[in-house]
Structure 1
Amino acid sequence: MRFVLLMAEEGHFDKWDAADEATRQRVVADFEAFDAAVAGRGSVVGGEALSRPGAARTVRPGPDRPVTDGPFAETVEQIGGFYVIDVDSIDVAVELAALLPREYTVEVRPVPEVAI
Structure 2
Amino acid sequence: MIRHRRALAWLLGLACIAGAVIALFDIETPLRPALISLFLLVVPGAAVVGLLRDRDPLAALSVGAAASLVINVLLAQAMLQFNAWSPRAGVATVAVLGGFMYVLRVLYRGKNMQTEQGARSR
Give the TM-score normalised by structure 1: 0.28
Q: Which structure features the higher share of strand residues?
A: 1
Where relative contact order (Cα < 8 A, 6+ residues apart) is larger, the structure is 1
Structure number, greater radius of gyration:
2
Relative to its length, the structure with more helix (as a share) is: 2
